[in-house]
Copies of this chain bind each other. A is one copy, B any other.
Amino acid sequence: MTARVGRKKTTIYDVAAAVDASVSTVSLVLNGDWSRYRIKEETSERILKTARELGYKVNLRARGLRLSKSGLAGMILPHYRNRFFADLAETFELGVRKRNLCPIVVSTQRDVEVELKVASTLLAQRVEFLFIAGVADPAALNRMCDEASVPCVNVDLPGTGAPSVVSDNRAGALLVTQKLIDKVRATGKSANDMLFLGGVAGEYATDNRIAGFLEALRQAGVDPRSDMVSCCGYRPENSSSAFRAYVERHGKLPSGLFISSITTFEGVVRYSVSTATALDCAVGCFDWDPFAADLPFTVAMLRQDVESMMEIAFNSLTTERQLARDILLVPPILERA
């Protein structure tokens, strides 16, 4: 058998002609409910057989046009390069396939232009719903979906233009910080020397994590100081130098370290390696990565509860939920302690 690039595909008309039946009979048979339409079994078998011989395959696009539904479901996210987004994509695909639809996941590299373009392509393809994760401007995309009457949901992103499913950053940060404080005190150190590292002040997630961090400190009777928080962004180089600066200023490591993302963590590890400084302090991280989990010191890692988030997201596709536009909070999971 050789490649037959561009050869014309066989249609139900071809099959109908071959068995000398009508297209509707063929269609009925091919869609399985021939018994309901009391088509002779012999006819049905002949059709099935020749369809196979002719290599017939449905054209889902034609069917979709006829039925006014595409059978497609879309998701846009920034990239696949960390476990959270990778898990989101895979969980989305699974859920979509379970609903007998075909997933279209597209990454947009956090580029607003690309986000807009991709979203409009997906809507023009008539996806039946759209998941929006980690984009720069959810509101614009929500509006587009609204105009196209396509249900959508924001994931890991709060917004008022659609239902939103987000990790409970505050509660998670509170929990991890409490663990850290316990550990710090168990080793006889002071919770007055803790540090929050990473993120960008003003960002939704970062602000909530800081709030949780500070609340835990207050609950433990510690009076938060401004030098306990260092929002150095997401790049490893930045956290590396921010951490170095902290250590040099204080002449020692913090007693407990709350790291706000896996890339920030990378920077800390890089510092530790390059200066041969053992990280003998309590460490917690609001993110999870299998490699980081195997490092030479115990880290309390918070893993976003992707399964729950996606289940909730799928459930918010109903008309009522679409109208309600709630923000649904999902507590993350403490992975190590």
Contacts and interface: CB of A to CB of B under 8 A. Distances in A.
A325 to B, nearest CB: 8
B81 A107 contact: no
Interface string A1-14: 11111110100000
Question: In the assembly, how many copies of this chain are there?
Answer: 2
B5 A322 contact: yes
Contact of A3 (B89, B270, B323): B323
Interface string A190-220: 0000000000000000000000000000000
Given A6-B149, A81-B83, A146-B3, A59 B126 contact: yes
Contacts of A109: 90
Interface residues of A, number: 72
Interface string A305-337: 000000000000001001100000000000000
Interface stretch (A30-38, A225-233, A284-292): A284-292
Contacts of A322: 3, 5
Contacts of A7: 149
A1 B148 contact: no
Nearest to A324: B3
A187 interface: no
6 contacts: A7-B149, A65-B65, A79-B90, A80-B80, A103-B106, A266-B290
Interface of A: 1-7, 9, 55, 57-62, 64-65, 70-72, 79-81, 83, 85-87, 89-90, 93, 97, 102-107, 109, 114, 117-118, 120-126, 143, 146-151, 236, 262, 266, 269-270, 272-273, 289-292, 294-296, 319, 322-323
